[in-house]
Amino acid sequence: MSIVYGPVPSWRLGRSLGVDLTPGDVKTCPFDCIYCQLGRTARPLAERAQFVSLEALAAELEAAAGVGADYVTFSGMGEPTLAANLGEAIRLARKALGLPVAVLTNSSLMPRKDVREDLACADVVVAKLDAPNQQLFARINRPVVDLSLHDIVQAISLFRAEYEGKLALDMMFVRANKGLATEMAALAGRLAPDEVQINTPTRPCAVAPLTPDELAAIRAEFKELRVLTVYEATPPAVAPLDVGETLRRRPAAGPQDAKPFVPEGGAR
């Protein structure tokens, strides 16, 4: 199984070359979110470990040199901050490919100082926040261990104060939190991110997406914040290194991937 996959047509990062530090057949995560495109969390984990070596990553990055991409993005089959060598991997990827590095995190481990230090190595951090209260957090994100939303929010606030890169909040809206857009916007305002990314599950999963009109109404609550929504974006055409390895992490896409996997000079 590969560590490097894609590029994928990302609605927020353009041509995104993925790095998966928790590769495998099943999802490895501290959450079991109701909307996850990867299905249920078969390997629940909230402790950091090393899943792939830097040597193996370096070899795959070398093989991907020259691929058309805008970002190297740490994501994949699990929560990237579970990887104890995340910081070193970020520095390695930037040096190997000369591209800016993004990390997509569900924020679960951000209360840990070592995790915040690793994330600070990235050029862009996209931190997930789907609920304004503990009850809804437990209902939507279904943490596999006892995690406090208050601690996570405090950790994002602390990270925001220290971080010199771009911080985006990824807010996934479903039926369960649709009516709490005002509270979510207020929470985002207090955290003062560089951007709020308003999302809804447009790829196959157990939860139906909200409509463009519903998402537009939610967007209207986020006054005086820079906002990008999944329905507003136009993803680029891409040519994945390996379509099968890419689709394992990113199942058949919806409207936000209007032009998925269109070869640029032929598939590779």
Bridge-based pairing of strands 14-20 and 4-10 is antiparallel
Residue 182 host element (H or E) = helix 181-191
Give the residue-averaged pLDDT of 73-77: 94
End-to-end CA, the chain: 17
Amino acid of residue 7: P
**What integer pLDDT is reported at residue 244 of this predicted model?**
73
Residue 229 has pLDDT above 90, yes or no: yes
Mean pLDDT of 227-247: 81
Residue 262 lies in a domain: no
User: Is 265 among the domain residues?
Assistant: no
Domain of 61? Answer: 4-255
The CATH number of residue 245's host domain is: 3.20.20.70
Write down the pLDDT at residue 196. Answer: 98
| Cβ atoms of residues 93 and 72 within 8 Å | yes
Q: Is 190 among the domain residues?
A: yes
Pairwise CA distance, residues 195 & 170, whole Å: 9
- Conformation bin of residue 239: beta by default, left when phi > 0, alpha when psi is -120 to 50: beta
Mean pLDDT (whole number) for 27-48: 93
The whole-angstrom separation of Cα 39 and Cα 138 is 17
Domain total of the chain: 1
Chain centroid, CA 222 distance in Å: 21
Is 249 inside a domain boundary? yes
pLDDT in tens, 142-192: 999 999 999 999 999 999 999 999 999 999 999 999 999 999 999 999 999
* Amino acid 181: pLDDT: 98
Percent of the chain with pLDDT over 90: 79
Instruction: Report if residue 201 sits inside a domain.
Output: yes
* Whole-number average pLDDT of the chain: 90
Helix axis angle for 149-162 and 181-191, nearest 10°, is 40
Residue 252: pLDDT band by 50, 70, 90 thresholds? low
Query: Would residue 215 count as lying in a domain?
Result: yes
CA distances from 145 to 32, 38, 103, 130 (A): 10, 19, 22, 17
Residue 264 domain-assigned? no
